[in-house]
Amino acid sequence: MQTTITRKTSKHASIPTLSKQALQQRLQQIFEQADHQSSALVRIYQLIFPDWEEIERLEGFPTVGVELWKYICQLFIQLDQKHHPQVFKGGLWFNSGFSSSDKLGPWDISLDQCRVIYK
C-alpha cells in the first residue's frame, strides 16, 4: 500500500511516495529519538514539509487518514507515558497535530486544508 501525499501548496512539486511500512518506520525512528513531545511533532511536520525551515507559518493543518492519525496518536501516548507521565497523554498531538478524515485512505495525507506561508 502506497501512502498518497497531496501537495498543492508547497514550492516543491512533490514528496516521494512512501509505502505504509516505510512511513511507519520513519515515524518509529522519530519517536525512538525524541525525548520530548515538541521535538517529535516538529520532526513529523518536517517529514511532510521537507522545506520546513523556509516556512513562516501554516494556516490550517495537514489532514491524514484515520488509521494514520490513530497510529501517530498512539506513538505520542507511548512517548508521554515514558517521558511525561504527568501530562494528558497524546495532548500535543490532539492540539497541534494533523486533522483526520475518513474521506481519505487510511494512510493518505492531504494538504488541501493547509495553506503554507513561506518566509
Highest mean pLDDT range out of 17-21, 87-91, 115-119? 115-119
Helix (H, G, I), strand (E, B) or coil at 61: coil
pLDDT score at 88: 63
Q: Kindly tell me if the per-residue pLDDT of 13 is higher than 50.
A: no
From the list 45, 40, 47, the residue with the least C-alpha distance to 79 is 40
Report the distance separating Cα 119 and Cα 105, nearest Å: 32
Mean pLDDT along residues 23-27: 94
Mean pLDDT along residues 68-89: 83
AA letter at 35: D
Q: Kindly tell me if the per-residue pLDDT of 12 is higher than 70.
A: no
Per-residue pLDDT reduced to its tens digit, 81-106: 776 777 666 667 878 899 999 999 99
The reported pTM is: 0.82
Mean per-residue pLDDT over the chain, rounded: 83
Report the distance separating Cα 27 and Cα 31, nearest Å: 6
Residue 64, CB half-sphere, CA atoms under 13 Å: how many? Answer: 18
Q: Kindly tell me if the per-residue pLDDT of 67 is higher than 90.
A: yes
The residue with cell 503554507 is 116
For residues 11 and 111, the answer to whether their CB atoms sit within 8 Å is no
